[in-house]
Amino acid sequence: MLTMSPTPKYLEDVISETDENKSDKKDFPYKITKVDDEINKDLLQYFTGERTGFVQVGPKKWFFPSGYEKNAGHYYNFQIRPDDVFIVTFPRSGTTWMQEMAWLLANDLNYQKATEIPLVHRFPFLEFSSFVHKETKDEFLKENAYDEERYQQVQNIDFPAWKMLTEMSGRRFIKTHLPFSLLPPNLLEVGCKVIYIARNPKDVAVSFYHLNRSIRTQGYVGDFPRYWNYFENNLQPWTPYWEHIKEGWSRRNEPNLLFFFYENISKVNLKGNIEKVSKFLGKSYSLEQYETLADHLDIDNFRKNKSVNYDILKNLGVLIKGEEAFVRKGKSGGWKDYFDEVLNARADRWIEENLKDTDLRFPSTV
């Protein structure tokens, strides 16, 4: 979750000066309301990175921190280009892994450039700036004031990615966790390529729990059962989870969308799925090259890759040392270590209720 320096040296030659937003704007179509005061008070006690409060958006009540409201229209009106590549997921669904795969496939397997340029710069996170509260950022600035370079990195941490991307020439690679209904309505109509990944909610919740604990912009200080309660009741950013997944599932047959289940791509026929992504992006490589990429993406190697692992956040104190790494285990079924019998039965009822009127089914994680 990061948008770092808006103009790192290796982007200076592809950014031109423009007005903040020259494009024709449409009205943002959804009402944004504050979360109930008592609920907000409770959330602020356990999510210490947010200081103002939380909002809900539209009839589906998409949940976000306060910073989302001022940028909602910019995300919705973001000008799509035909050669853009989007990775759209609910958080902790294999996003980073797919970003690295897609970027390398689209960029002639340039491993050297991928090593030299952190993934956060190669593949900006559209809405991250909405998650950096001013007071939390001020704390980061004070902690890094002794080092001019680190201080400047923190200063740029909340530069809006939508603005940087608007000013960028060349092919753009964009990460977002926003659901389709909050993204530009023409996203799948202008020719750009969109990859959507869905992951089973139990593994998502466990991984998201650890991220919320480790990254101070979220700053979660509670235990997992409490976290699950927030997750199940749509009181976590980007929820409702089911609405997010169902929106992706409903678009799965559109020609410019490639839909994956996380459980089917992480270990099962990895090379075959890499080839599928390659074809989707209009690229073709040799069998040996696909095998090399599969090895590069193997979780044991991926976890050691500093370009994708947000090491810079650890240096700045934004990621808490001692908590789980940004790239965790990369396996399915890890939820079993966190759900006791009672919580698991409750989660199963919730899942069954939300799947009963749909043909959406997650691959088995047994």
pLDDT given for residue 197 in this prediction: 97
355 φ, ψ to 5°?
Answer: -100, -10
Token readout for 247 is 């929106």
Burial of residue 341 (number of CB atoms within 10 Å: 0-12, 13-18, 19+): exposed
Contacts of 227 (CB under 8 A, 6+ apart): 205, 208, 209, 212, 220
Model confidence at 2: pLDDT above 70: no
Q: How confident is the model at residue 20 (pLDDT cuts 50, 70, 90)?
A: very low
Q: How confident is the model at residue 22 (pLDDT cuts 50, 70, 90)?
A: very low
Q: How confident is the model at residue 6 (pLDDT cuts 50, 70, 90)?
A: very low
On whether the pTM is more than 0.85, the answer is yes
Is residue 192 a contact partner of residue 282, using CB atoms and an 8 Å limit?
A: no
DSSP state of 47: B
**pLDDT, greater one: 275 or 27:** 275
pLDDT given for residue 1 in this prediction: 41
Angle between helical axes of 37-46 and 224-232 (0-180°, round to 10)? 140
pLDDT per position as a tens digit, 345-359: 999 999 999 999 999
Model confidence at 266: pLDDT above 90: no
Model confidence at 265: pLDDT above 90: no
User: Where do the domains of the chain lie, and which CATH numbers do they carry?
Assistant: 9-13+29-355 (3.40.50.300)
Q: How much is the mean pLDDT over the chain?
A: 89
How many C-beta atoms surround the C-beta of residue 266 within 10 A? 20
Is residue 44 a contact partner of residue 224, using CB atoms and an 8 Å limit?
A: no
pLDDT given for residue 40 in this prediction: 98
Ramachandran assignment for 234, one of left (phi > 0), alpha (psi -120 to 50 degrees), beta (any other): left
Q: 57: which strand partners?
A: 32, 62
pLDDT per position as a tens digit, 100-149: 999 999 999 999 999 999 998 999 999 999 999 999 999 999 999 999 99
Half-sphere exposure of 213 (CA within 13 A, CB side): 17
Contacts of 30 (CB under 8 A, 6+ apart): 57, 58, 59, 72, 182
pLDDT given for residue 333 in this prediction: 64
Burial pattern 349-362, b for ≥16 Cβ within 10 A else e, equals ebbeebeeeeebeb
Contacts of 107 (CB under 8 A, 6+ apart): 113, 114
